[in-house]
């Protein structure tokens, strides 16, 4: 991540609080300095600190002790580092507990966590009002956002390309209970003041969405200058070209931080049961009204869910989406249980081997 000119960072501008100072005391006594992870490039981290921007790697001990990819430093993390100012470099010795985190399951079949953004106050879920508009995908994003612990905010972009977009805004509001919904246009400026109202010095906002929805353009608009590269949408399908290639933290000139992320082709859920319940609160409330507590919501008499589908109170597509995400989480939980069982067997086998080796060593004395 490059800046136009070298600069030093005041920790409060990066979100540092008095509680951070207290947590950091033992590390300060050891001669370490606080920093925040601003970007990651294949194992090399870019940090913001009071010494300026530092390139860093993770200490070998930290990498060894990390139980999985989700325990390694992620963009937005606060870390304790051993700096090498003359080199503009540092070594990350410790990652502090995350206040919030936005995670997904890594691609393919691995049952591992990938942290997309850490320590964010709000998550802007961007979806354009043209061909990208997809309520079912938005439900998936909402479930993950609620699970993160941050406040979700829906930003519907490109109002200038969607005449009569108000109808789509109503569709979104119907599935996003209690979530602010802001239709905006980076071209005309419509709705941007409401988006800016979520920014404040030291406050971190993560931007998530598909490629081409206008995340980088929104960052530039909020900053009032071209901080990130952008490309125009394609005329044939209305989609944008992928510009952001890695997650990066941007400090806005007017205060506040924005964590930009690459467009995601898919977002696989990671331990999002509470987020799913929050997203589909209406569905779960209906299920509580069923005559039988173990209702499977198929053909049972007195099923409130099926009655709501029949009278149009609950859309079949929303119910199908809910069941699909439930199955995905159940599958993930089974995978995690099997992995934990395998890891436990390995630990017992290792402990047994070490015990036998110790007994043999004592016998030879």
65 and 170 in one domain?
no
Which residues form the domain of 74?
11-95
| DSSP for 4-27, written as a single string | SS-----GGGGT--HHHHHHHHHH
119 and 82 in one domain?
no
The answer to whether 271 and 147 are in contact (CB under 8 A) is: yes
Give residue 237's pLDDT: 45
Q: What is the separation, in whole angstroms, between the first and last Cα of the chain? A: 59
**Residue carrying structure tokens 């956002």:** 145
Residue 66, domain CATH: 2.40.50.140
Domain boundary among 234, 260, 286: 260
Domain boundary among 230, 260, 290: 260
Q: Has residue 140 been placed in a domain?
A: yes
254 and 112 in one domain?
yes
232 and 83 in one domain?
no
| DSSP for 146-199, written as a single string | HHHTSEEEEEEE-GGG-TTTHHHHHHHHTT-TT--EEE--TTT-TTHHHHHTT-
Q: Has residue 88 been placed in a domain?
A: yes
Q: 77 Cβ partners below 8 Å, 6+ apart?
A: 36, 37, 95, 96, 98, 118, 119
154 and 29 in one domain?
no
CA distance 38 to 48: 6
CA distance 312 to 277: 21
CA distance 158 to 213: 8
DSSP 121: S
Q: Has residue 121 been placed in a domain?
A: yes
pLDDT truncated to tens, each residue of the chain (365 aa)? 444 556 789 999 999 999 999 999 999 999 999 999 999 987 799 999 999 999 999 988 887 776 665 678 999 999 999 999 999 999 999 999 999 988 877 665 566 778 889 999 999 999 999 878 999 999 988 998 998 899 999 999 999 999 999 999 999 999 998 899 999 998 899 999 999 999 999 999 999 988 888 888 899 898 887 776 655 544 444 444 444 457 889 999 888 999 988 755 567 666 667 888 889 999 999 999 999 999 999 889 999 999 999 999 999 999 999 999 988 888 877 777 655 555 555 656 666 666 666 666 666 66
Count other Cβ atoms within 10 Å, centred on residue 114: 18
CA distance 272 to 325: 9
33 and 145 in one domain?
no
Q: Has residue 118 been placed in a domain?
A: yes
Give residue 331's pLDDT: 80
Q: Has residue 108 been placed in a domain?
A: yes
32 and 91 in one domain?
yes
Q: Has residue 189 been placed in a domain?
A: yes
Give residue 37's pLDDT: 97
Alpha carbon 192 to its chain centroid, in Å, reads 22
Give residue 242's pLDDT: 44
Q: What is the pTM of this model?
A: 0.80
Give residue 228's pLDDT: 64
Count other Cβ atoms within 10 Å, centred on residue 149: 17
38 and 166 in one domain?
no
203 and 232 in one domain?
yes
Q: Has residue 350 been placed in a domain?
A: no
Domain boundary among 42, 61, 95: 95
Q: Where are the alpha helices (DSSP H) in the chain?
A: 18-29, 60-65, 135-148, 166-173, 192-196, 215-223, 273-279, 281-287, 304-310, 316-364
255 and 108 in one domain?
yes
116 and 74 in one domain?
no
Closest to 19 (Cα-Cα) out of 252, 202, 152: 202
Domain count for the chain: 2
Q: What are phi and psi of 232, to 5 degrees?
A: -70, 160
Give residue 216's pLDDT: 87
Give residue 229's pLDDT: 62
CA distance 46 to 248: 9
Give residue 82's pLDDT: 96
CA distance 53 to 6: 8
Residue 254, domain CATH: 3.40.50.300
Count other Cβ atoms within 10 Å, centred on residue 13: 15
Q: Has residue 216 been placed in a domain?
A: yes
130 and 74 in one domain?
no
Give residue 355's pLDDT: 61
């Amino acid at each position: 991540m490059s800046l136009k000119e070298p600069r030093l960072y005041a920790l409060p501008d990066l979100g540092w609080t008095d509680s951070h100072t207290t947590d950091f005391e033992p590390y300060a006594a050891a001669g370490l300095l606080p920093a925040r992870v601003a970007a990651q490039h294949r194992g090399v981290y870019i940090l913001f600190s009071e010494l300026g921007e530092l390139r860093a790697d993770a200490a070998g001990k930290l990498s060894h002790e990390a139980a999985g990819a989700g325990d390694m430093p992620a963009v937005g993390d606060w870390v304790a580092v051993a700096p090498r100012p003359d080199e503009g470099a540092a070594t990350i010795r410790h990652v502090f507990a995350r206040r919030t985190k936005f995670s997904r399951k890594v691609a393919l079949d691995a049952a591992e966590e990938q942290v997309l953004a850490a320590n964010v106050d709000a998550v802007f879920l961007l979806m354009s009002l043209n061909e990208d508009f997809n309520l079912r995908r938005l439900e998936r994003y909402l479930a993950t956002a609620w699970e993160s612990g941050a406040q979700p905010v829906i930003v519907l972009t490109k109002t200038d390309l969607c005449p009569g977009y108000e109808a789509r805004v109503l569709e979104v509001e119907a599935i996003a209970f209690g979530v602010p919904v802001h239709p905006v246009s980076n071209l005309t400026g419509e709705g941007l003041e409401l988006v800016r109202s979520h920014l404040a010095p030291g406050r971190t906002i993560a931007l998530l969405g598909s490629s081409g929805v206008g995340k980088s353009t929104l960052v530039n608009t909020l900053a009032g200058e071209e901080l990130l590269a952008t490309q125009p949408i394609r005329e044939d399908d209305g989609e944008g070209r992928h510009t952001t290639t890695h997650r990066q933290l941007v400090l806005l000139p007017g205060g506040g931080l924005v964590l930009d992320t690459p467009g995601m082709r898919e977002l696989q859920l990671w331990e999002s049961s509470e987020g799913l319940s929050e997203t589909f609160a209406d569905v779960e409330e209906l299920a509580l009204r069923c005559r039988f507590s173990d209702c499977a919501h198929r053909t049972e008499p007195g099923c409130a869910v099926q009655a709501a589908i029949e009278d149009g109170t609950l859309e079949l597509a929303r119910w199908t989406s809910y069941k699909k995400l439930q199955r995905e989480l159940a599958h993930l939980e089974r995978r995690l249980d099997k992995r934990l069982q395998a890891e436990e067997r390995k630990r017992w086998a290792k402990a047994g081997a070490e015990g036998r080796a110790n007994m043999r060593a004592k016998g030879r004395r």
